[in-house]
A and B are shown apart, each in its own frame.
Chain A
Amino acid sequence: MSAHTHTPEDFKPRSREALADPRLRANFRATMDFLVERRAAQFADPAEYARLRDLGEAIRRHALANLPELLEQLERKLAQRGVQVHYAETIEEAQEIFAEIAGCHGARIMVKGKSMVSEEIGLNQAMEECGVECIETDMGEYILQLDGDRPSHIIMPAIHKSKEDIADIFARHIPGAGHTEDVNELIGIARKALRRKFGQAQIGVSGVNFLVAETGTLVLVENEGNGRMCTSVPDVHIAITGIEKVVEKLEHVPPLISLLTRSATGQAITTYVNLITGPRRPGELDGPREMHLVLLDNGRTQAYRDERFRSTLQCIRCGACMNHCPVYTRVGGLTYGTTYPGPIGAIISPHLQGLGATRDLPTASSLCGACGEVCPVGIPIPELLMRLREAARHPVDESGHPPLRGQGAAASQLERLAWKGWRILYSNSRLYRIFAWLATRLRWLTPARQPGWTQGRTPLRPAPHSLRDLLAARRREQAALQAAAPSARRSGAGTG
C-alpha cells in the first residue's frame, strides 16, 4: 500500500520471482498487448501523430522553461479563487499538511481518487497513523486496498488480479457482499459500498493531470466518476500533485489530454474531463467549501536543475512507455518496488529516492528504444537511462554537473581496475600483442562460470586465433598460391 513496503533495492531477486510466475506473465502480456493495440488504432496516421506529439512536447518544454514564473502565476490565481496552496519539499512535509488539514476538520474519513503522487507520499498509511481512514475509490485501487496489495500499473492498477481473486476479496472484506464472479455485480457491490463512504467523508482527495496557470484551474481526467465524487461531495477538497504539472494556458490542455488518453488506454477522450477552478461560490448548493492544493517537490528540483535530466519532468503519466517495454511486460509493475514502475519509473525514481536505492532500475532496459518512440511528449527515455547508468557508476561527474543524490552508488573498484587495464592494453601495441598471444594460447583456462554473464548466456572465451594471426595466415596462404601457379594467373589476365 505504501511506497515503503516494497523497495527498489531487491529489484533483481524480485524479477526472478516474477519471471517464474506464468500466470502473472500471461496477465501482463495480454494486458500490454491490448493496450498497445488500442493505442496503435488511435494513432493510425503517423504524420498526424508526429505533429500532435511535437505540439505536446513544445507545450511541456515551454512550461518547464518558465516553471518558477508559472508556479507564481498559478498561486496568485488560486489565491483569488480561494484555494490554499501548500508547498512540500519532502514526503514528510506533504504528510504533515494532510494531517494538519484533517485535524482542523476533525476528519475521520477521507475518500481519495486515483493519484500517483498520493501513493508517492504514502498517504493512506500516514493518515491511518493519525486515525483517519483514507479510502481508495478508483475501482482498481479499492480492490487492492481491501486486499492490502499495491498497484502494478499506473493506469490499470489491479491488472494482476483475476475476477475470481476479486470475488474472494469482496466476499471477505465487504459486509453483506455475497460471492459472485459476475463482473457487473462485482462493480455494483463496490459502487454501493463506496457511495456510502462518499456521503460520510469530510475530506475528498484527488490528484491532478494538469494545472493551468492562466486561470488557476485543476484538470482531472477519469472514466469512473469517483474523481467527480471526491471533488464535489465532501466539504473539503485536497488536491496533490508534483510541481512540474503546470502549463501556461487553458488552450494547452486539449492537445495534451488528447495525447494522454489516446496513449494511455487508446480512448479519444475519457468519460469525464473535470476543470476545477476553486471551491463553491456563493449561491452554489454543492461543491467543497474549502479547497487546498499541495505541490510536492520530493527530488523533482534535482531533475530540473540539470538540463540533461530536465526532460524527465515533461512526463504526463500516460504509461505508454511501460506498455511497450519488453522488460516491464515480463517482470510486471510490482517488481520495481517504486511508485512509478517501467521506463518512466526508471528515469524519475532516481531523483525521488536517490540512486543508492534505485541504481539497478536504469539497467532494467534492453535499450530497444520503444519507450522513447511511443512517448507522447518526446522524452528521450533511452538517453536518460544511459546517463543515469553512467551517474550510478561514476562518483564524480567529469562534465562538472553537480552530483545526483546517490551518484556513484553502483561504482565498483574491480570494474574501474578492469577498465584501467583495458586502456593500458589497448593503447600499447606491444603489450596488446603479448596479451593476444597469451589469451589465445591459454583460452582453456577461462572459467565456465562467469558471474553476471553465464546466468543467461554461454561463457565468454577468447577465439583460438586472433584476427591479426588469421590475417597473417591468409596472407601467407595467398602468397604460397601465387608462387605455386604463376602461369595460370598470367594467362587468366590475358584473356580478361
Chain B
Amino acid sequence: MITSLKQRRARDNILSRLRAAPQSAQEAVPDVAAYYREAPVVTAGSKVERFIEQATYWHAQVVEAGVDAWPEAVLKVAQDKQLRRILLGRDSPIGDALGRVLPPDWTTWYQGDWPLCKPHLFDEVDAGITSTVAGIARTGTLVLWPGAAEPRTLSLVPPVHIAVLFASSLHETWLDAATVGNWSARMPTNVVLVTGPSKTADIQRLLVYGAHGPCELVIVLVHDEPAGRGTT
C-alpha cells in the first residue's frame, strides 16, 4: 500500500476545501428515466432489424443464424475467412457447442496465466470468439462481460473478433440493458460496449480500421426470439 502521510494530507486538504465552499442551491436530482421515456420513439422496423442496420453501419459484419445451426454459421465464417488459429474461452457459455463443431486443430483454449500467453496471443492467433450478454439496437452495440470464462484480451488482441449474440438479449438502449440486467449491483471487473471494429481517423481524418484492436468484427446473430424475426 502506498499511502504516505503526504497523500493523506492532500486528501484532507482537498476535501476540506470542497466542504468549505458555499453550498449551491440544492440541485434537482436528474431524472434519466424520464428523458428516455419521452425521447422520440424509433419505430422503423423491429429491434433486430434496427440492430443489424446499425451494426452494419458501424462496419460490423452480421451473420444471421437459426437457434440450432449457429455453431455451423461460426464454422462457415472461419472457413470463408480462412481462420485456422481460433482462440476460445475454456468456460465460455458457447464453448461446448463450438468445440463440437470447429475442427480441433483450428481451436485453442485460452488457459493458463497471462505472461505465458502473451507472445502466443499477440502473434499466433487469427481470431477470438466470445459470447455477449446483450445487444443494443439503437447503436448496433454489443455488451461484453469478460471474466474468468472469457478473458478481456480474447476480444481485443486477435485481428478478427467473432461475437455470438442471441436476439432475445437485444435491448433498445444501454440504459435498458443496464437496468434490466441490474448492472449497478453486480459490476464485474470489466464491461465493454463494442460498436464495430477498432478504428482511427488520426491521420488527416481518414478512417482506418484495425487501429489497436480487431480489424474485423463478425456478429453471429442467433434468432432465438420466440416469435421469430417480427418481434420488437
List A residues at the B interface (Cβ < 8 Å): 31, 34, 45, 48, 51-52, 55, 58-59, 61-62, 64-65, 67-68, 71-72, 84, 86-89, 93, 96-97, 100-101, 104, 137-140, 143, 156-159, 161-163, 166, 183-184, 186-188, 191, 194-195, 198-199, 214-217, 223-226, 228-229, 232-233, 243, 249-252, 254-255, 265, 268-281, 283-287, 292, 295, 297, 301, 304-307, 310
Complex CA gap A229/B206 in Å reads 23
One of B61-69, B73-81, B147-155, B220-228 at the interface: B147-155
Supposing A86-B2, A97-B2, A232-B152 touch, asked if A55 and B32 sit within 8 A by C-beta, the answer is yes
A-B contact pairs, 27 of them (CB 8 A): A65-B24, A68-B19, A84-B1, A84-B2, A87-B11, A87-B14, A183-B203, A191-B210, A198-B122, A215-B187, A224-B198, A224-B212, A225-B211, A226-B212, A228-B156, A249-B184, A254-B32, A268-B138, A277-B187, A279-B189, A284-B151, A285-B110, A285-B111, A286-B151, A292-B2, A297-B14, A305-B22
Closest to A200 in B: B118
Contacts A271-B58, A281-B188 aside, 19 further interface pairs with beta carbons under 8 A come to A55-B35, A62-B29, A68-B15, A93-B6, A100-B2, A163-B203, A191-B212, A198-B122, A225-B211, A226-B211, A232-B190, A251-B184, A273-B192, A279-B189, A285-B110, A286-B114, A287-B190, A297-B17, A304-B17
Q: Residue B122 contacts which of A188, A199, A216, A232 (CB distance < 8 angstroms)?
A: A199
B2 & A252 in contact (Cβ 8 Å cutoff) = no
Residues 129-177 of B contacting A (Cβ, < 8 Å): 138-139, 141, 147-148, 151-153, 156, 173-175
Closest chain B residue to A187, Cβ basis: B208
Most chain A C-beta atoms within 10 Å of own C-beta, residue among B4, B11, B148, B196: B11
B113 close to chain A: CB less than 8 A: yes
Shortest Cβ distance from B21 into A: residue: A305
Q: A68-B15, A183-B208, A301-B18 are in contact. Are A307 and B202 (CB under 8 A)?
A: no
Do A307 and B2 have beta carbons less than 8 Å apart?
Answer: no
Instruction: State whether the Cβ of B27 lies closer than 8 Å to any Cβ in chain A.
Output: yes
Q: Does B43 contact A (CB under 8 A)?
A: no
Smallest CB–CB gap between A214 and chain B, Å?
A: 6
The answer on a CB contact under 8 Å between B11 and A48 is no
Q: Is the CB of A277 within 8 A of B2?
A: no
Residue B26 CB within 8 A of the other chain: yes
Chain A residues near B213 (CB-CB < 8 A)? 224-225, 228-229, 271-272
Expressed in whole angstroms, the Cα–Cα distance for A402 and B155 within the complex equals 52
Q: B192 is contacted by which of A31, A275, A279 (Cβ under 8 Å)?
A: A275
When chains A and B are docked, how far (Å) is the Cα of A72 from the Cα of B16?
A: 12
Min distance, Cβ A66 to any Cβ of chain B, angstroms: 8
Distance in Å: Cβ of A155 to nearest Cβ of chain B: 10
A262 CA / B184 CA spacing, docked (Å) = 25
Minimal beta-carbon separation of B231 from chain A (angstroms): 23
Which residues of chain A come closer than 8 Å to B232, judged between CB atoms? none
Greatest chain B CB density within 10 A among A101, A195, A287, A305 is at A287
Chain B residues near A87 (CB-CB < 8 A): 7, 10-11, 14
Name the one of A67, A225, A269 contacting B139, with C-beta atoms under 8 angstroms.
A269
A284 and B21 contact, CB distance less than 8 A: no
Task: Tell me which residues across on chain B come within 8 A of A198, comparing CB atoms.
Answer: 122, 212
Contact B148–A284 (Cβ < 8 Å)? yes
With A304-B21, A307-B22 as contacts: A251 and B32 at CB distance below 8 Å: yes
**Nearest A residue to B144, CB-CB:** A272
Contacts of A195 in B (CB 8 A): 122, 212
Question: A183 with B30: in contact, given A71-B15, A84-B2 (CB under 8 Å)?
Answer: no
Name the residue of chain B whose CB is nearest to the CB of A301: B17
The A/B interface has a contact count, at CB < 8 Å, of: 262
| Chain A: minimal CB distance from B199 (Å) | 5
CA distance A233 to B196 in the complex (A): 21
Q: A269 touching B195 by the CB < 8 A rule?
A: yes
A352 CB, nearest partner CB in chain B, Å: 15
**Residues of B close to A101: CB separation below 8 A:** 2
The residue in chain A whose Cβ has the minimal distance to the Cβ of B16 is A68
Q: What are the residues of chain A within 8 A of B18 when measuring CB–CB?
A: 67-68, 71, 243, 301, 304-305
* Known A-B contacts A163-B204, A304-B21; A224 and B1 likewise in contact (beta carbons under 8 Å): no
Q: Which residue of A lies closest to B7 (CB)?
A: A86
Interface magnitude class on chain B:
35 or more
Task: Mark contacts of B27-63 with chain A using CB atoms, 8 A cut-off: 1 yes-contact digit, 0 otherwise.
Answer: 1111111010011100000000000000000100000
Chain B's closest residue to A270 (CB) is B195
Could you say which of B1, B174, B200, B202 has the most chain A C-beta atoms within 10 Å of its C-beta? B202
Contact, CB under 8 Å: A166 / B203: yes
| A272 touching B200 in the complex, CB below 8 Å, given contacts A48-B40, A284-B189 | no
CB distance from A2 to the nearest CB of B (A): 21
Closest to A100 in B: B2
* A269 to B138 alpha-carbon distance, docked (Å): 10
From B40, B122, B151, B198, residue with most partner A Cβ within 10 Å: B198
CB neighbours (8 Å) of B58 from chain A are: 271
Contacts of B178 in A (CB 8 A): 250-251, 254
- Provide the bound-state CA to CA distance between A138 and B192, in Å: 18
- Bound form: Cα–Cα A55–B3 in Å: 37
Cβ–Cβ < 8 Å partners of A250 in chain B: 178, 183-184, 187
Select which of A140, A226, A277 is within 8 A of B188 by beta carbon. A277
- Interface check B20, CB cutoff 8 A: yes
Q: A307 CA to B20 CA in the complex, in Å?
A: 12
Q: A272-B192, A285-B148 are contacts. A232–B156 as well, Cβ < 8 Å?
A: yes
Which B residues are in CB contact (< 8 Å) with A272? 192-195, 198, 213
- Whether B27 and A224, one on each chain, are in contact in the complex, defined by CB atoms closer than 8 angstroms, is no
Are the CB atoms of B32 and A93 closer together than 8 Å? no
Complex interface: chain B residues within 8 A of A278 (CB): 189
B100 near A: Cβ within 8 Å? Answer: no
Nearest first, the 4 A-B pairs at minimum CB distance are A225-B213, A140-B202, A224-B211, A283-B148
* Complex Cα–Cα for A422 and B112 (A): 81
CB distance from B186 to the nearest CB of A (A): 9
Most chain A beta-carbon contacts within 10 A, residue among B15, B113, B206 = B15
Nearest-neighbour CB distance to chain A for B40, whole angstroms, equals: 6
Which listed residue (B33, B40, B187, B196) contacts A271, Cβ 8 A? B196
